[in-house]
Chain A
Amino acid sequence: MEFRKKILENGLSIIGELNDSAKSAAVGFFVKTGSRDETKQINGVSHFLEHMLFKGTDKLSAIEVSKAFDRTGAQFNAFTSEEVTVFYAAVLPEYLEEITNLWIELMRPALRDEDFNIEKNVIKEEIAMYKDQPEFDAADKCRALHFDSHPCGNSVLGSVESIDNLSAEQMREYFNRRYAPDNMAVVCVGNFEWEKICNIVQDGCGGWQSKGAGRITEDFEGSKKKENTEKPNINREHICLMSYAVPAQDQRRFAAHLLAAIIGDSAGSRFFWELVDKALAETAAMQFGAMDGTGVLFTQVQCSSENKIKVMDVINRIFQELGEKGVSEDELQKAKNKILSALVIKNEVPMGRLADVGFNWMYLGEYRTTADDVEAIKSVTVQQVNSLAKQLSPGEYTQFSIGPAKTK
């Protein structure tokens, strides 16, 4: 593995991790923009814009873009979160230059009114699709409740209303502010020639204007509010809990990751043994979400309505015991084993590695090898996890749940 980097004069970062033994290469354009960078009036624009990038440029129509991707046999896609919009592709090495050139072109889209209006329907279908999946609906609403007035509570998809009201002009204005070279990174991993990719990016993006697009990153403790809703057409209780955790930039993120695995990994955790193994809930999992300047511990549980009270009692007891007794050496070691093997396996494939290299650059402005992360996880001590558990108090959570309507 060899690490390379170059920062262009306009602020665009080019990051590379070369691995000659890989059979493929992956490239990603990481844009530091997401729903937290939106106002209420334009909520959903980041995600809608991600769709619009595939609609072409002044030179390329939407169908020409699709064909250009398919010619290379690329496995490609894009996603938008609260914090980032990522466009990525994995290809055989001989196609990497072609696909990188294509992405560069698409990063300067036409944003035509006609395409905007058709795509609005697709976005509204996507919103409808998630409405039919209550676990997503509950997660979205829990995040909004937890972050209250903080912009990290903004929905990624937006609402039917905010999408209906959005204009193509508002999208263009947002694009001009956010898709600036000093707010982006081009990341490449796997089997490729660094100089060639660097030159392509330099030639294609060197003329873009930097905009100084920033972001307010206030930390936020969370509202700790609790809400329940009922829906007539569903069968299970979908319970989401969210509480404060450390930011992506905090050294304690490794301990937070381990803490979440000890409490709520999908197998072998405290939630697993107390809830899933005993069939009180069919799923009960906690994850650590490291964000820009803040973070969350996020729990999702699915169970029957009859078990809901019992399940919440068990969860509260687990949090209480964690506060009183902490975690054991044995639990920590098992969590380390699982996280380390997952990390190594994921990073064996260029597509998996792309995410870690890209996010480390976006959040930390730093390149970290897989070995660096392995070492950081290995060195976490029980004392560190226990002291973090005390500081975070995961028992003080925001709760949102959706369950079936009670028949009277």
Chain B
Amino acid sequence: MAEKLDKHILKNGMVLLGERMEAVESVSFDFMLPAGAAFLPEGICGAANVIADWIFRGASDKDNRQLGDALDGLGLHRSVAVGSSHLVIGASLEAGNLSEALNLYADIILRSGLEDEQFEPARQLAIDGVLSLDDNPRQKVMLKLREQFYPKPFGRSTAGSIEELKNLTAEKTRQITKDNFNLSQTIFSVAGKYDFENIVKQMEKLFETDSKQAIETIKPKPKAAEYTHIHHDGAQVHIGLMTGTVKVDDENYYNARIAISVLSGGMSARLFTEVREKRGLCYAVGARYHSLKEAAGVICYAGTTPQKAQQTLEVIIAEFNRLKEGISEEEIKQAKAGLKSALILQSESSSSRAGSIGGDYYMLGRVRSLDEIKSKIEETTVESVLKFLWSNPFEDFTVVTIGPQQVKVK
């Protein structure tokens, strides 16, 4: 089942990646634009969300409505995501409409209208997005947690800050868009049914320029406080905690992933068993791996009613600590089965593959094959995972809570 990776680099450095899938009629693509929250200047937190909306409000010879109608006319399903490093815009659609869709996306990226009158609603929606987080404490706690955990500015809120959004002007945002839509740092990935030769020809016409723009680097600043509580008179205390671990390019990456699966991979994993099954403390509890190019961690969430919050936090931290004391062969076997099966199930979806190959290239400078990932997972053993945990224990937690009551950390 070895899949073939298509790759081409335009003169300006823009990377084109593709993975052809024989069993599907659809195609999905992503443009990873280097305009994520962390890569924008200080003092305009949330600008990436304004840009993500504004660029769709008319491009080239089409006004707002005409552009929306043209996209809808192709039956494509848009995806827009603001991350730490990238603003990712993409779509899934029937394969026959790919070429027309790419023409429209080139207009959006290179020739967006960015008109003054369309700026205000784009900014207002970004502000509303931040305000609506108050009504979704679970999402809010995770955003705040990443902000507190990662060195500045990498954890910067992808939703934004109301104050800074209010100060944003159309002129400033236009300039940031121009500065950050740097094709030399843009990755285009496509998966599903397509002809790569045709894509390369079309992309050369649409995106090839001679000039290669300089690549900026950011210096991280130390991270913030260890415990943050936000008061909210809700029904539950929403607990987020995070501890550092190795990045995707580390030789211990797969040992870390297995360790996290033992903790919270399946229903028999330790967190679910100890927190929910044995004690009935929570409905939602889970931990997963979370990585940026600059740093990585294990991110954990639990929501529970106030009188159980302290115990919930203590049981979770005890489970993190207990990992290095011993892991059974059976646990490792299950963790491997879970990771391998998730990998293959996701590989059936074109949008998931387009996202994965683009993400791999950004993180590692290359795309891992499914076989490589599978064999690396296979290579891990009880000994290798424990050895990793002894030298990289899960300790020093950044904790954020939102709810009617605080918890005691340590």
Select the residue from A23, A132, A135, A277 with max chain B CB neighbours within 10 A.
A132
A225 is an interface residue with CB less than 8 A from chain B? no
Among the stretches A30-38, A208-216, A344-352, the one at the interface with B is A344-352
Given A90-B345, A125-B283, A279-B128, does the pair A345, B92 have CB atoms closer than 8 Å? yes
B24 is an interface residue with CB less than 8 A from chain A? yes
How far, in Å, is A14 (CB) from chain B's closest CB? 23
Closest to B91 in A: A341
Asked whether, in the complex, the Cβ of B69 is within 8 Å of the Cβ of A337, the reply is no
Please give the number of chain B residues whose Cβ is less than 8 angstroms from any Cβ of chain A in the complex: 77
Given A69-B267, A337-B72, A340-B75, does the pair A122, B282 have CB atoms closer than 8 Å? yes
Closest to A130 in B: B235
B46 is an interface residue with CB less than 8 A from chain A? no
B23 is an interface residue with CB less than 8 A from chain A? yes
How far, in Å, is B51 (CB) from chain A's closest CB? 15
Give a binary string over B26-39; 1 marks a CB under 8 Å from any A CB, 0 the rest.
10000000000000
Among the stretches B146-154, B195-203, B243-251, B270-278, the one at the interface with A is B270-278
Among the stretches B104-112, B318-326, B347-355, the one at the interface with A is B347-355
Given A348-B23, A348-B24, does the pair A267, B348 have CB atoms closer than 8 Å? no
How far, in Å, is B67 (CB) from chain A's closest CB? 10
Residues facing B in A116-138 (CB within 8 A) are 118-126, 128-129, 131-135
Asked whether, in the complex, the Cβ of A302 is within 8 Å of the Cβ of B267, the reply is no
Asked whether, in the complex, the Cβ of B68 is within 8 Å of the Cβ of A341, the reply is no
A122 contacts which of B233, B283, B330, B341 (Cβ < 8 Å)? B283
Given A66-B273, A235-B132, A302-B132, does the pair A338, B236 have CB atoms closer than 8 Å? no
How far, in Å, is A281 (CB) from chain B's closest CB? 8
Q: Contacts of A249 on B, CB cut-off 8 Å? A: none
Asked whether, in the complex, the Cβ of B345 is within 8 Å of the Cβ of A125, the reply is no
Residues facing B in A47-78 (CB within 8 A) are 54, 62-63, 65-67, 69-75
B93 contacts which of A121, A234, A334, A341 (Cβ < 8 Å)? A341
Give a binary string over A72-100; 1 marks a CB under 8 Å from any B CB, 0 the rest.
11110000000000000011100100000
Given A70-B266, A70-B267, does the pair A235, B135 have CB atoms closer than 8 Å? yes
Asked whether, in the complex, the Cβ of B73 is within 8 Å of the Cβ of A121, the reply is no
A395 is an interface residue with CB less than 8 A from chain B? no
Asked whether, in the complex, the Cβ of A63 is within 8 Å of the Cβ of B131, the reply is no
Asked whether, in the complex, the Cβ of A71 is within 8 Å of the Cβ of B283, the reply is no
Asked whether, in the complex, the Cβ of B349 is within 8 Å of the Cβ of A129, the reply is no
Given A73-B342, A340-B75, does the pair A23, B69 have CB atoms closer than 8 Å? no
Asked whether, in the complex, the Cβ of A125 is within 8 Å of the Cβ of B77, the reply is no
Query: Considering the chains assembled together, what is the distance between the CA atoms of A25 and B215 in angstroms?
Result: 45
A238 is an interface residue with CB less than 8 A from chain B? yes
Closest to A26 in B: B345
Asked whether, in the complex, the Cβ of A338 is within 8 Å of the Cβ of B77, the reply is yes
Asked whether, in the complex, the Cβ of A122 is within 8 Å of the Cβ of B280, the reply is yes
Q: Contacts of B345 on A, CB cut-off 8 Å? A: 23-24, 75, 90, 349, 351
Q: Contacts of B337 on A, CB cut-off 8 Å? A: 70-73
Asked whether, in the complex, the Cβ of B68 is within 8 Å of the Cβ of A267, the reply is yes
Q: Contacts of B286 on A, CB cut-off 8 Å? A: none
A interface residues (Cβ-Cβ under 8 A, vs B):
21-24, 54, 62-63, 65-67, 69-75, 90-92, 95, 118-126, 128-129, 131-135, 232-236, 238, 267-268, 272-273, 276-279, 282, 302-304, 333-334, 336-338, 340-342, 344-345, 348-351
What 7 new A-B contacts, CB under 8 Å, besides A121-B281, A341-B93?
A73-B341, A125-B304, A129-B284, A132-B138, A273-B68, A276-B125, A348-B26
Q: Lowest 5 A-B CB distances belong to which pairs? A: A337-B75, A73-B341, A121-B280, A66-B268, A73-B337
